[in-house]
Chain A
Amino acid sequence: MADRPLPPPETAVEWLESMTLIRRFEERAGEQYTRAKVGGFLHLAIGEEATIVGAVAALRPTDYMIATYRSHGQALARGSEPGRVMAELFGRVDGLCRGRGGSMHMFDLERRFMGGFGIVGGNLPLAAGFGLTSDYLGSDDATLCQFGDGASNQGTFGETLNLAALWSLPVVFMVTNNQFGMGTSLERHSAQTNLQTKGEGFGVPGMQCDGMDVIDTWAVTSEAMRIAREERQPVLVEALNYRFRGHSIADPEDYRSEDEVLEWSKRDPLVTFGDRLVAEGILNDEQREAIDLQAIETVDAAVAFADASPEPEPSSLYDDVYVLSDQVRGWYSADHRGAGVQKGEDLS
């Protein structure tokens, strides 16, 4: 599929920049994890950059995007400030979610990046809900929902595809087939391994793209978004890709061979796309190098920003549990803040 023509040079360069930023960001996030700056689970998207950038490039700024616990890259590609993404990983007040969500739960409403969800398959119904809103309000915004091959086995997959088709919702479901759900390979978890066909019985046609190729991903996703937006027809896109790192940081990877990883790494989306831009005269080697240096600098600044951001105040613990109003001015609770009844908020 490498025979698709390049996009205009500025666009091509932008995509390479975006993929490079994600790669460097993820590498640094992994490093910060080993220094205990980042806690919890850390799922990196190294190897999956083309799927992220190609898909996001097919969206309008007002389209909705929703993804999984592996979504620092989606936030970055949507334009979230790298410093705020890193600060969320650090659990600081300047994090995208003020340190409440962490790595698995990124969210940036302003950029219509609608999260970051830790429950496998949990985001599909929400995506259909965004589609419902667009439809209801008569807007032509559409939604892109990314989830993994493993998630295609959840009940929410079939239930959501059926409803989206039944109600003609403008949603593109993108299954990022990175060949594994944690340590279980595709053929060991799904009877149908040609995932693009998995929606047909629900009335959701399938398409496939090379998720290691940013241009193909962009082209196929763009067509799928057009169908969703203009024909009010949900589409299932299977993006074939591979994660180069473990499922999360602590993964011994006994379930796959080094040869397999090596074989896929020959298709490293950054390398192949960068090579092509040089081969076709869009960039010279120095310019290519400069893109990388710029990404490293941006990530350095993101780490510095996150480091300088304060930890959340203990007194903020109960912020945002409820929308406070005349009806709910606070609530009574008896929790371990001390013996006796406590006020969840000031009940003045």
Chain B
Amino acid sequence: MAEMRYREALNQALAEELERDPNVYLMGQDISVFGGAFKVTEGLMDRFGEKRIRDTPISENTIVGLGVGSAMTGLRPVIELMTINFSLLALDQIINHAAHVRYMFGGQVSVPLVVRMPQGAGHQLGPTHSHSFEALYLHVPGLLVAVPSTATDAKGLLKTAIRDDNPVIFIEHETLYGQRGEVPDDPDFTVPFGLAAIRRAGSDVTIIGISRMAQTAERAAEQLAADHGIEAEVIDPRTLRPLDLDTILESVAKTNRCVIVEEGWPHGGVGANLAALIQEQGFDDLDAPVGRVTGVDAPMPYAKSLEQISFPHEEQVIEATLALFGDRKRASRG
């Protein structure tokens, strides 16, 4: 174990996989000399050289297309898109090709490609630069979607992503890069896909947090316990495809209440999807409608005062949770 930041854990995962497999290579804007916009690839160029750590022009769709092509023919590209916002330019290659090439050609080829990119609001970057798109990628069959919220998961899931033969959308978070955690330094350490993490055990309500919202959910749970005597079980699914629905349903069977917290928009969101699954498969276990806490249904404004009320914080999670308990728990507020 070593204490390191989320960005360092990612860096270590990349270095270990580059070391392990000569067909793994990295490609992205400003990742070599510059070390990456968020410094995730710092030092890799010196260690592995220009052939394997490739700076690209600003050509997102084509970069992903090259990745798909080289993945179809035996390489294992790991692409860094500077942020998830710019992945919109590459949606054609991601959906029409990365996700569907294998299916469309009857399983003759696979696309062992990883597209890494951070998402998230909170830095006052305005409407074009503050997106959260896990729901968008979750929508697409053929893609795997990872949303690591801790340094350990960042490393373990990235290594799994690189070793897996499917295209993986690997969603990091801009505000998590500097966070520290205890990370195993064993080069064989990985975190499996499709296994949720229970961040906090509890019996009164299940709170599911996606990406950085797993942390927001955890903090909200501590306050719910301290101020309202509500013991929440906090679940971080870690990957949305594959999804560990079993862990979620088991928890809901125990708590009978569920709130889902995500940063993206409400319509067609991860919460909308999970709420549907939970009511389909666990209807009898529910004592209240599934609650959702999401970003607001508007583009992300620049002004700090507006931006801060546009994505979820602990207080909204607490409020949505209390609402599931009706007046009984609300009364004990404050």
Contacts and interface: CB of A to CB of B under 8 A. Distances in A.
Contact of A92 (B61, B124, B294, B303): B303
A99 B89 CA distance: 26
Interface string A162-190: 00000000000000000001111000111
Interface string A100-116: 11101100000000000
A317 B309 contact: yes
B126 A335 contact: no
A64 interface: no
A154 B306 contact: no
A184 B34 CA distance: 8
Interface in B101-123: 123
A255 B37 CA distance: 13
Nearest to B82: A182
Interface in A241-263: 254-255
B62 interface: yes
A266 interface: no
Interface in A57-96: 88, 91-92, 95
Say whether chain B's binding surface is mostly helix, strand, loop, or mixed: loop
A260 B60 CA distance: 30
Contact of B58 (A189, A331, A337): A189
Nearest to A118: B128
* Chain A contact residues, majority secondary structure: loop
Given A317-B309, A335-B266, A189 B127 contact: no
Contacts of B30: 182-184
B312 A150 contact: no
Given A334-B294, A336-B296, A119 B85 contact: yes
A9 interface: no
21 contacts: A91-B124, A99-B302, A100-B301, A100-B302, A101-B126, A102-B124, A105-B127, A118-B126, A118-B128, A119-B85, A119-B88, A121-B58, A150-B57, A154-B60, A183-B30, A254-B33, A314-B305, A316-B306, A335-B297, A337-B296, A338-B320
Interface of A: 39-41, 88, 91-92, 95, 97, 99-102, 104-105, 117-121, 150-151, 153-155, 181-184, 188-190, 254-255, 311-312, 314, 316-318, 321, 331, 333-340, 342, 344
Given A101-B126, A312-B301, A338-B323, 18 more contacts: A39-B304, A41-B125, A92-B303, A99-B306, A101-B127, A101-B302, A104-B125, A104-B128, A119-B85, A150-B58, A151-B58, A155-B62, A184-B34, A254-B34, A318-B296, A336-B316, A340-B323, A342-B297
